[in-house]
Amino acid sequence: MARCVALIGPAHSGKSTLADALAALGGAAAPPASPTEARVLAFDYLGERWTVIDCPGAPDLLGLARDALLAADVAVVVAPPEPDAAALAAPWLRAAEESGAPTMVFVNKADAPQGRLREIVAALQAYARHPMILRQMPLREGEKIVGVVDLVSERAWKWREGQHSQLVAMPADVEENEHERHAALLEQLSEFDDWLLEEIVEEREPASDAVYAICARMLAENRAMEVLFGAAGKGAGVTRLMKALRHEAPGVEALRERLGKAATAVAFGVRRRKHLGRMTLVRALAPGLAQGAKLAGETVGALLDPVAERPGGAAVEPGAVTLAAKADHMPARGPMTAEKRLPTPLAAAPLAPQEARILAAPAERDEAKLGAALASLAEDDAALSVELEGGGRRVGVQGPMHLRAVEATLADAFGLGVEAHPVTPPWRETIAKGAEVHHRHRKQTGGAGQFADVRLTIAPAPRGAGFVFEEVVKGGAVPRNYIPAVEAGAREALAKGPLGFPVVDVVVTLTDGQHHSVDSSDFAFRAAGRGAVQEALAEAAPVLLQPVHMVEIHAPSVFTGGLSTLISGLKGQILGFDRDGDAAGWDLFRCLLPEAMLPDLAPQLRAATQGVGRFETRLDHYEEVYGKEAERISREHGHA
Ligand SMILES: Nc1nc2c(ncn2[C@@H]2O[C@H](COP(=O)(O)OP(=O)(O)OP(=O)(O)O)[C@@H](O)[C@H]2O)c(=O)[nH]1
Ligand SMILES: [Mg+2]
């Protein structure tokens, strides 16, 4: 049975280097890593099939890691070797915990550590609910780490570049420290195992194999995160990691427990290629996945080798990964049976967009094609949202890398270039006082004339009331059948007020008027209603309204100190912050922010949190804007 590992973690921590090194253990060649796509590697190790999913580390491509976690037996969070960089690993630790995937941590670049290993682990621990268990200690020569001591077996290994590590005698100066740490590790593990606790109490030395078995169970039951370390760039610690995975990684049965026992396969993302079209990454969870078989009610077309993207074997063994082509309706993510889709776990639910652009095709004739392409990309990408807005398409992305990835797919797979424009908030206007007008529409053109006469009042209505139309006409001065036309005219006038924006929160009351038995018509009363309301609005002290959002920022606690200044700088109103009850080491920061500031929030938050902060927003209310700011908005964005 084939097993699958997802490598996730911050940018440049060495995931791709580690993935290459793991594949090299199995003698497999690896295609180059992509900065914007999850790379799949497959190899055999000691007679077993393995797939490694190498996820990009840009925080705005977190969605790809969440997809990979759906299908992986084990997540390996590859962390940088600096205590100060631990917060960069926070989103990945969080995604791993949310997915429910058993997780290990690999502290990489141990050849050039920027701190003591125990400090690094302590710093990482702040962002995980699962206890982290350091199963090794470094073997040093001077300050340099040259190998590793396995604290379970109490054996020392020296790294050798390009070769297997060498078993060496435990250096005398390490021995005492090692014994202490070995005892501490056993004590930590005994929290998960009564037998081990008893052995310790009885002062018996447990056999290494029994302790390894406890480690394996801890991982399989997802109760703790083991921490290993190494230097993938030098091949150091890679075999240790692979052996730990081989001994401890649970198989597809455990994944089925997580996804739903009935699941026979799980989809975890889509790739698009110019000639091959849309292809879904699928992991088989049971026998029977083959060309021509059914999956989620659809007949499986071509099955490709996910590494080379060429036709693969006819059948896919349980646990192996394949690329389903020519199946346009195959779900992009989530577990399924032969007949149907099963519910997708919450951990792969859509991500709130962090930035938006209006995307347009440079050539008018490509607009429809762009619309269709974007709609289908959004369906496949839980991190992408597309809405129609004012004739354009408002595309919500996670950040610049994500936008680049979307643009690249549009260009490469659909042959579509796009122009990206900034989005503008939906400003509105209202009135500050009431007004009363009399407006007559009269025209004599050739034969039939036009005549309509209306008197009406306009008055402010409470925020959120929208448009209210009333009439108190007496004695049929405006005949009943023309009143809807007056209302329609009023609506036309409100579509664009004196400041250039749609008018809201007003009551228009038709009070009186005159008509003519021949020249009056719906048309004439509509024109009169429109003219009257236009006139009234100008007299009613128009006021600009801006949308204000309730914003919830999620960031590791170390960054929250700087957020108050950031929000004040964006003219936001801070509502407070709390520990985030949903994730270890994260804070939840709430504020009100004008929508016009949201495009600045995303890059500033990225800068203030090294890319890991994110936010959710929803429209809260409209608020009045006065003075120079209002004049500027009306001048630059009003369509007067
Ligand atoms: N010193 C040292 N450098 C390493 C090690 N492993 C990787 N690197 C270097 O770190 C840099 C980033 O490595 P990648 O493997 O591309 O990192 P990644 O995590 O895949 O990065 P993204 O895919 O961009 O998120 C490269 O320059 C590697 O050569 C290591 O063990 N020690
Ligand atoms: Mg990489």
Nearest to 118 by CA among 177, 34, 204, 195: 177
Amino acid at 105: V
How much distance in Å is there from the Cα of 12 to the middle of ligand 1?
Answer: 5
Contact 97, 130 (CB under 8 A): yes
For the CA of 22, the nearest ligand: 1
Can you list the alpha helix ranges (DSSP code H) found in 191-248? 194-201, 208-220, 238-248
CA–CA separation, 42 vs 304, rounded Å?
13
CA–CA separation, 357 vs 330, rounded Å?
28
What are the phi and psi torsion angles at 585 (to 5°)?
80, 5
How much distance in Å is there from the Cα of 233 to the middle of ligand 1?
Answer: 7
Beta carbons within 8 Å of 63's beta carbon, 6+ residues apart: 351, 381, 382, 383, 398, 402
pLDDT in tens, 39-72: 999 999 999 999 999 999 999 999 999 999 999 9
Q: What is the pLDDT of residue 312?
A: 77
Q: Decide yes or no: CATH 3.40.718.10 for domain 3-250.
A: no
For the CA of 12, the nearest ligand: 1
Ligand 1 in reach of 57 Cβ (< 6 A):
yes
Model's pTM, two decimal places? Answer: 0.92
How much distance in Å is there from the Cα of 14 to the middle of ligand 2?
Answer: 7
Ligand 1 in reach of 398 Cβ (< 6 A):
no
- Ramachandran sector of residue 106 (left: φ over 0; alpha: ψ -120 to 50; beta: rest): beta
Please determine, for residue 480, whether its predicted confidence score (pLDDT) is greater than 80.
yes
Contact 531, 441 (CB under 8 A): yes
Ligand 1 in reach of 15 Cβ (< 6 A):
yes
- Ramachandran sector of residue 202 (left: φ over 0; alpha: ψ -120 to 50; beta: rest): alpha
Beta carbons within 8 Å of 410's beta carbon, 6+ residues apart: 370, 373, 374, 377, 416, 417, 418
DSSP string, 412-456: HHH----EEEE-----EEEESS-EEEEEEEEEE-SSSEEEEEEEE
Please determine, for residue 84, whether its predicted confidence score (pLDDT) is greater than 90.
yes
How much distance in Å is there from the Cα of 23 to the middle of ligand 1?
Answer: 16
Ligand 1 in reach of 233 Cβ (< 6 A):
yes
Contact 162, 235 (CB under 8 A): yes
Please determine, for residue 404, whether its predicted confidence score (pLDDT) is greater than 90.
yes
Q: For residue 58, give the ligand 1 atom closest to its CA.
A: 25
Contact 37, 271 (CB under 8 A): yes
Q: Which residues pair with 79 in a beta bridge?
A: 107
pLDDT in tens, 498-507: 999 999 999 9
For range 315-327, the mean pLDDT: 91
Q: For residue 112, give the ligand 1 atom closest to its CA.
A: 1
Q: Confidence class of residue 448 from pLDDT cuts 50, 70 and 90? A: confident
How much distance in Å is there from the Cα of 52 to the middle of ligand 2?
Answer: 12
How much distance in Å is there from the Cα of 62 to the middle of ligand 2?
Answer: 13
Pairing of strands 225-229, 132-134: parallel
pLDDT in tens, 135-189: 999 999 888 899 999 999 999 999 998 788 899 999 999 999 999 999 999 999 9
The yes-or-no answer to whether 3-250 and 429-540 have a common fold is no
For the CA of 15, the nearest ligand: 1
Q: What is the pLDDT of residue 327?
A: 82
CA–CA separation, 570 vs 551, rounded Å?
12
For the CA of 61, the nearest ligand: 1
Q: Confidence class of residue 534 from pLDDT cuts 50, 70 and 90? A: very high
Q: For residue 18, give the ligand 1 atom closest to its CA.
A: 15
pLDDT in tens, 285-294: 999 999 889 9
CA–CA separation, 318 vs 264, rounded Å?
9
Q: Confidence class of residue 115 from pLDDT cuts 50, 70 and 90? A: confident
CA–CA separation, 47 vs 253, rounded Å?
20
How much distance in Å is there from the Cα of 108 to the middle of ligand 1?
Answer: 9
Q: Confidence class of residue 444 from pLDDT cuts 50, 70 and 90? A: confident
Ligand 1 in reach of 17 Cβ (< 6 A):
yes
Secondary-structure class of domain 545-637 per CATH:
alpha beta
Question: Looking only at Cα atoms, what is the longest distance across the chain?
Answer: 115
Structure tokens at 559: 């960054």
In the chain, what are the helix, strand and coil shares in percent, each to the nearest 5?
Answer: 35, 30, 35
For range 222-231, the mean pLDDT: 96
Average pLDDT over all residues of the chain: 94
CATH code for the domain defined by 258-348? 2.40.30.10
CATH of 355-422, one of 3.30.870.10, 3.30.70.870, 3.40.47.10, 3.90.870.40: 3.30.70.870
Q: Confidence class of residue 389 from pLDDT cuts 50, 70 and 90? A: confident
pLDDT in tens, 514-527: 999 999 999 999 99
With pLDDT > 90 as the criterion, what percentage of the chain qualifies? 87
Please determine, for residue 454, whether its predicted confidence score (pLDDT) is greater than 70.
yes
Q: From residue 6, give the alpha-carbon distance in Å to each of 73, 99, 279.
A: 8, 12, 19
Ligand 1 in reach of 231 Cβ (< 6 A):
yes
Q: For residue 19, give the ligand 1 atom closest to its CA.
A: 15
Contact 431, 542 (CB under 8 A): yes
Q: From residue 21, give the alpha-carbon distance in Å to each of 1, 79, 103.
A: 22, 16, 19
What are the phi and psi torsion angles at 466 (to 5°)?
75, -125
Question: Which of 16, 20, 120 maximizes ligand 1 atoms within 8 Å of its Cβ, making it the mutation to test the pocket?
Answer: 16
Q: What is the pLDDT of residue 225?
A: 97
> Closest Cα to atom 11, ligand 1: which residue?
12
> Closest Cα to atom 23, ligand 1: which residue?
56
Structure tokens at 284: 């088989």
Ligand 1 in reach of 56 Cβ (< 6 A):
yes
Q: Where are the domains of the chain?
A: 3-250, 258-348, 355-422, 429-540, 545-637
Q: What is the pLDDT of residue 640?
A: 54
Q: For residue 11, give the ligand 1 atom closest to its CA.
A: 25
Ligand 1 in reach of 36 Cβ (< 6 A):
no
Q: What is the pLDDT of residue 626?
A: 95
3-state secondary structure of 576: strand
Q: What is the pLDDT of residue 301?
A: 86
Tallying the residues shown for the chain, one arrives at 640
Q: Decide yes or no: CATH 3.30.230.10 for domain 429-540.
A: yes
Q: For residue 9, give the ligand 1 atom closest to its CA.
A: 19
Contact 37, 64 (CB under 8 A): yes
For range 424-440, the mean pLDDT: 96
Q: What is the pLDDT of residue 276?
A: 87
Residue 380: enclosing H or E segment and its boundaries? helix 367-380
